Copies of this chain bind each other. A is one copy, B any other.
């Protein structure tokens, strides 16, 4: 975090070259991620592609885990940017449209970058634990955006009351209230609970597709399937 403690001293030709090399490594890392999967990420292979001996890479990246962290942050931010872009393209008051755009953006990015998606939302990499202080902020951008849409819709009175809501048990209501207070939201527990369900369901649907859980040709109309699922989920929270 406090690596460059001098906020804006002078870039210098050296740090520029160094930053460029690190960026190249991340780029190659993403390619390897997409082609061979997260846990097959090899610093040696990256060094080869970089035209350099393996040990040289350690000058720029502390370890394989460090590279994984860099890729994690990079991927989270790319996903977050993609979501922001598509959501912001719609009117602020178009809550349902914004939710559907968010969902489509997640799916689109995931299908296009299955390796990175697997790193973020797939099985945890065996010996690796993400450093929370650097990954939580980028890692929560999508859910923040999602609850933001819900909250805005609720504040605008645009959420239609949903029927057949099961009661939220005491313990869960407490957790939800804590989340609401921490994020400064205005949503009732029932809506927040359904929002969490929508969140997990969205990624469940995307994961099924990206990880190949559907049969090879059970759902050729995957786009339509996903769209229909998201519309159903939108209805579930009254959007």
Q: A interface vs B, CB < 8 Å?
A: 36-40, 118-119, 121-127, 132, 136, 163-166, 168-169, 171-172, 174-175, 179, 193-194, 196-197, 200-205, 207-208, 211-213, 215-216, 218-221, 224-225, 227-229, 231-233, 235-236
Contact = CB atoms under 8 A, between A and B. Distances in A.
Interface of A is mostly: helix
Nearest to A40: B126
Contact of A219 (B38, B119, B175, B203): B175
B40 A127 contact: yes
Nearest to A221: B171
Contacts of A39: 37, 39-40, 125-126
Contacts of A211: 121-124
A118 B127 contact: no
Contact of A204 (B119, B207, B221): B207
Nearest 9 CB-CB pairings of A with B: A204-B204, A122-B123, A37-B126, A118-B123, A171-B221, A201-B201, A39-B39, A40-B126, A166-B231
Nearest to A123: B122
Nearest to A35: B126
Given A163-B163, A168-B228, A232-B194, A175 B123 contact: no
B202 A225 contact: no
Contacts of A221: 169, 171-172, 174-175
Given A172-B221, A193-B225, A200-B207, 13 more contacts: A36-B126, A39-B39, A39-B40, A121-B213, A122-B123, A166-B228, A169-B224, A171-B224, A172-B228, A174-B221, A200-B204, A200-B205, A207-B207
A165 B232 CA distance: 7
Contacts of A165: 232, 235
A131 B107 CA distance: 27
B201 A197 contact: yes
